[in-house]
Amino acid sequence: MTTTTSPRHMRQRPGMTAKVGPVLTSRNAVVIGGVALGTAAVVGGVALSAPAMAATAGSRVVVLKVGSSGSLVKVAQQRLGVSADGVFGPRTQFAVKTFQGRHGLVKDGIVGPLTWSKLGGYPATGSAPAPNCTVKVVRYGATGSLVAALQQKLGITADGDFGPHTLGSVQSFQSLHGITADGRGVVGPATWAALGGMPCGLSLTPPGTTAPVSGGSGSGAPTTTAAKLTQVVSIAKQYLGVPYVYGGSTPAGFDCSGLTQYSYSHAGLTLPRTAAAQQAYMRQTSSPLPGDLVFFGTPAYHVGIYIGNGQMIAAPYPGAVVRIQTYINVANFGTLR
């Protein structure tokens, strides 16, 4: 048998695939530069789960989809503002699709490299949430590097102080993106998710904790009733934007007297629960000072916290949020001074 050898210049040269082994084939998946862009892959005939797909050379990104579970799913859920149970079910898929639609991504319900990027980046460890990555709620009056990061995401001056300008920017952003879950002007999980995720490891000083009211002992804590009442206003301002909830007495939701009782309690003062009981408990005054209460009706059916200049902080009615309001024709004030 005669063997014919092709001239050297006509021989087929090996392609790039000859230099790579084992061969990677995929089912609904593509790997580019080591980044899995799909859901499942086969290497040497062995099907790989999502975590195994991340073990390719180069970038390491685990792709999450319905059926995934574990700590990475929890991270994604936290950034999306949904219940972080670590199970990627239909509710998480819906949240992913909604997020993708808001950010101009393909709404496939899969958390791949592009979606991770918009969510604030893939967690550095690749297997567990980054340290201090629990979503922090940021409110009016807060300060710190986390506030500065928020301001940068909003495109405003990053001075680290959550003041009126930042509050207005947050409210505008929420209105633009249809965000209501966190409460108006409050940056919680849903708002952080729409902003691309909350950066981890940054400092946050809640409102009312940066400058203790003077007038007490060397510890700096307020000890007189007058000093504590002054602190009531700064405490109440923390909860601007919290939704009204009938019977509510926590930051998850307040009614009018729940807000006043909660604010007084955290300033070290005691109040009964209802507006009428608070009115009966306090001494009536015609010269209110910030921190005193504004009552409507006798017995009272509504109450707010006086902040000066004809204004009060109150949880007004169902469907509204804690807000600063102007009142008129009210001459019924109570004080503990």
Provide the domain count of the chain: 3
Sign of the C-alpha dihedral computed for residues 105, 111, 113 and 117 taken in this order:
positive
Helices (H), 145-224: 145-154, 164-177, 189-194
Q: Are residues 286 and 317 in the same domain?
A: yes
Whether 68 and 50 have beta carbons less than 8 Å apart is answered as yes
| pLDDT tens-place string over residues 124-165 | 643 334 444 678 888 877 788 889 889 988 989 888 888 778
The partner residues of 158 in beta bridges, in order of sequence, read: none
| Higher pLDDT among residues 321 and 22, named by residue | 321
Last residue of a domain, one of 210, 236, 258: 210
Whether 253 and 243 have beta carbons less than 8 Å apart is answered as yes
pLDDT at residue number 57:
35
119-123, 304-308, 312-316: segment of lowest average pLDDT: 119-123
With respect to residue 23, please indicate whether it lies within any of the assigned structural domains. yes
Q: Are residues 203 and 278 in the same domain?
A: no
With respect to residue 65, please indicate whether it lies within any of the assigned structural domains. no
Q: Are residues 264 and 172 in the same domain?
A: no
**pLDDT bracket for residue 10 (50, 70, 90):** low
With respect to residue 218, please indicate whether it lies within any of the assigned structural domains. no
CATH number of the domain to which 325 belongs: 3.90.1720.10
- Burial bucket for residue 288 (CB in 10 Å: 0-12, 13-18, 19+): buried
Q: Are residues 206 and 230 in the same domain?
A: no
With respect to residue 115, please indicate whether it lies within any of the assigned structural domains. no
Q: Are residues 200 and 230 in the same domain?
A: no
Q: Are residues 326 and 243 in the same domain?
A: yes
Kindly tell me if the per-residue pLDDT of 201 is higher than 50.
yes
Q: Are residues 192 and 234 in the same domain?
A: no
Last residue of a domain, one of 210, 233, 264: 210
Helix, strand, coil percentages for the chain (3-state, nearest 5) = 30, 15, 55
First to last CA, the chain: 115
CA distances from 114 to 12, 80, 248 (A): 38, 15, 40
DSSP assignment of 43-63 equals ETTEEE-HHHHTTSSS-----
Q: Are residues 310 and 247 in the same domain?
A: yes
Q: Are residues 203 and 270 in the same domain?
A: no
Selection from 29, 188, 210 nearest residue 110 by Cα: 29
Mean pLDDT, range 75-80, rounded to an integer: 82
With respect to residue 148, please indicate whether it lies within any of the assigned structural domains. yes
Q: Are residues 232 and 318 in the same domain?
A: yes
Kindly tell me if the per-residue pLDDT of 178 is higher than 70.
yes
| pLDDT tens-place string over residues 203-244 | 888 754 433 333 333 344 455 778 888 889 999 999 999 999
Q: Are residues 317 and 229 in the same domain?
A: yes
Length of the chain: 337
| pLDDT tens-place string over residues 277-305 | 898 888 899 999 999 999 999 889 999 99
CATH number of the domain to which 155 belongs: 1.10.101.10
pLDDT at residue number 3:
52
With respect to residue 103, please indicate whether it lies within any of the assigned structural domains. no
With respect to residue 168, please indicate whether it lies within any of the assigned structural domains. yes
Determine the structural domain holding residue 167 and report its residue range.
Answer: 135-210
| pLDDT tens-place string over residues 14-73 | 544 444 443 333 334 333 333 333 333 333 333 333 333 333 334 578 899 998 888 888
Mean pLDDT, range 72-77, rounded to an integer: 85
Enter the pTM of the model. 0.40
Last residue of a domain, one of 175, 210, 245: 210
Q: Are residues 140 and 181 in the same domain?
A: yes
With respect to residue 185, please indicate whether it lies within any of the assigned structural domains. yes
